[in-house]
Amino acid sequence: MKICFTSDQQNDLESTLSYHFGHCPYFVYVEIDGNEIKNVYSAPNELAEGHNVGDLPTYMKQQNVDVIITGGMGPRAQEYFEQYGIKPVIGAYGKVKDVLEEYLKNKITYSEKIAEGNLEEHTEGENEEIDRLKKDIVNLRQQIADMKSIVGKLNKEKEGE
């Protein structure tokens, strides 16, 4: 099985999961045999800056991806992935290694299809504020991913006592 994670960094399993699959800067691919990791690699999302509807699901199919795990994805994209036999998993957050572990242990929570919201026109000043907030969100996701990883390690140590 081949799983693709959306990522904010090109740091393989240590990468932080990106919130939106279509505009994420990187993909982390993990090839699994049973519950054993066979291969891990990161690649830039060459379509992050712009793509047509359906381009990324088509690309993932060409990469032989079975599952895509991300923070968020619109319902149309989810339908495209499902048409290609690729299972979309949305609502995940944290470091790729932690989300992978949760997925393999069937502990990940699957979100329902997310409805696409109406996009509003913004003034230039609002767009600058939105850009700043987006950067803040990426930094907060990194901090949450780090904390989640630490809690996971502490729980494993506690179980080992």
Decide: pTM greater than 0.85: no
Q: Which residues pair with 5 in a beta bridge?
A: 28, 69
In the block, tokens 């609502």 appear at 91
Burial 52-68 (b: 16+ CB within 10 A, else e): eeeebbebbeeeebebb
Domains of the chain: 2-160 (3.30.420.130)
pLDDT surpasses 70 at 108: yes
DSSP-derived 3-state class of residue 46: coil
Lowest average pLDDT, out of 58-62, 82-86, 94-98, 127-131, goes to 127-131
91 pLDDT band, cuts 50/70/90, is: confident
CA 14 – CA 146 distance, rounded (Å): 9
Looking at residue 2, its pLDDT comes to 97
- Convert the pLDDT of each residue in 129-158 to its tens digit: 566 567 767 778 788 888 888 888 888 888
CA 64 – CA 58 distance, rounded (Å): 10
Percent of the chain with pLDDT over 70: 80
Looking at residue 33, its pLDDT comes to 93
